[in-house]
Amino acid sequence: MWPIFQAVVATGDTYVFSPTTTRQDAFTYWFGPGNTPYVAVDALRILGMYKIRAHQRDLGSHVANASFMVDPAAQGTGTGKALGQHCLREAQHAGYEAIQFNFVVSTNMGAVSLWKTLGFSIVGTVPKAFKHHQLGYVDVHVMHRFLNDG
Amino acid sequence: MWPIFQAVVATGDTYVFSPTTTRQDAFTYWFGPGNTPYVAVDALRILGMYKIRAHQRDLGSHVANASFMVDPAAQGTGTGKALGQHCLREAQHAGYEAIQFNFVVSTNMGAVSLWKTLGFSIVGTVPKAFKHHQLGYVDVHVMHRFLNDG
């Protein structure tokens, strides 16, 4: 999982982590309290991963939050879509009523498109909230999907 | 600060914390790593408080996030507005370029109105993301304001 994390954050165009993020920080992000991590495997190789957790505690705990990373070398293989579909099922089984993504970089067209395909919609756009490695400040989408109609 | 925290979360209509939140959890929320807390005082009594922190790490760290609580007994005294104005100044001094609130309960008209007065706008609305004690599931606003024009 660490090599995938490093490959994903190296480009500075989709995730908020600096390319110099430490292994310990990455470990905490994936395995810290409240997170449930999953991986996608092809034979014995990890292709991608996601984690799911409550978006908020207590009075906001009916909404899940999830984060995904796919090995850049595995892009185009349907790994993201498979993880997304798995996440929808797991979130439903866990009793969540919706999933919310807080930080979908607007220029990450692959992610925006994938989430729309899986039934998510953009419910908000925060202007210039992400410092893109090449493009400078770009907008960030909040995306959301109810689970009871899935 | 603990009595104000208890009074604010007791009603279950504005904050995500359960009325049964422990003192330790409240302490961590206000004084945990990355947070800078402030209080408003009238003589020697604390009337309200806010904290400011980076909304995201690294490539999102130019946006601040802040959270406010005002003693219900001090409502109508301008404490929230004074804290909000102080927060805008502190965020500017700290070098942030914007402030984002993630979880403004849509039925909390006082808060929505105050933030609009202070130049914030609603950039997103997450449907039914807060379980209101009396109204059931209600929407939550994401509100945002740039600081460079202030």
Do β-strands B121-132 and B63-70 pair in parallel, antiparallel, or remain unpaired?
A: unpaired
> What is chain B's mean pLDDT, rounded?
93
Q: Mutate which of B24, B25, B58 to disrupt the A interface (most A C-beta within 10 Å)?
A: B58
Q: Which amino acid is at A105?
A: V
Residues 6+ apart with CB under 8 A from A116: none
Q: Is the separation of the CB atoms in A123 and B140 below 8 Å?
A: no
pLDDT computed for residue B4 by the predictor: 93
For residue A95, pLDDT beyond 90: yes
Mind listing the pLDDT tens digit for each residue in B97-126? Answer: 999 999 999 999 999 999 999 999 999 999
Residue B61 has pLDDT above 60, yes or no: yes
Minimum Cα–Cα distance from B99: chain A residue: A129
pLDDT at A149: 58
pLDDT score for B90: 94
Give the phi and the psi of residue B25 in degrees, each rounded to 5.
-65, -40
Q: What is the mean pLDDT of chain A?
A: 93
pLDDT band of B150, cuts 50, 70, 90: very low
Place of tokens 């933030």: B115
Give the distance from residue A116's alpha carbon to the nearest chain B alpha carbon, in angstroms.
16
CB contact under 8 A, A130 and B55: no
Q: Of all residues in chain B, what percent carry a pLDDT higher than 90?
A: 83
Report DSSP letters for A12-78, one per residue: -SS-SS-TT--HHHHHHHHHSTT-EEEEEEETTEEEEEEEEEESSSGGGTTEEEEEEEE-GGGTTTT
What tens digit of pLDDT does each residue of A136-145 get? 999 999 999 9
Q: Is residue B8 scored above 80 in pLDDT?
A: yes
Q: Residues of chain B with pLDDT > 70: what percent?
A: 99
pLDDT in tens, B128-145: 999 999 999 999 999 999
- Could you give the residue ranges of the DSSP H alpha helices within chain B? 2-10, 23-31, 79-93, 109-117
Produce one character per residue of A27-50: b if its CB has 16 or more CB atoms within 10 Å, e if not: eebbeeeebeeebbeeeeebbbbb
Give tens-digit pLDDT for A42-78: 888 899 999 999 999 999 999 999 999 999 889 889 9
pLDDT, position A101 = 96
Q: Which helix (H) or strand (E) holds B53?
A: strand B45-54
| Cβ-based interface (< 8 Å): residues of B facing A | 12, 15-18, 21, 55-60, 62-63, 97-98, 100, 102-103, 123-133, 137, 140, 142, 144, 146
- Note whether B136 and B144 are within 8 A (CB): no
Q: What is the mean pLDDT of residues A2-22?
A: 91
Residues of chain B positioned with their CB less than 8 A from the CB of A123: 124-127
Q: Over 60: is that where the pLDDT of A97 sits?
A: yes
The pLDDT assigned to B149 comes to 58
- Chain center to CA of A135: 21
pTM: 0.90
pLDDT recorded at residue A11: 86
Percent of chain A exceeding pLDDT 70 equals 99
What distance in Å separates the CA atoms of residue B91 and residue B142, rounded to the nearest whole number? 18
Q: Which residues of chain A are within 8 Å of residue B60 when distances are taken between CB atoms?
A: 16, 103, 129-131, 140
Q: Evaluate if residue B38 carries a pLDDT over 60.
A: yes
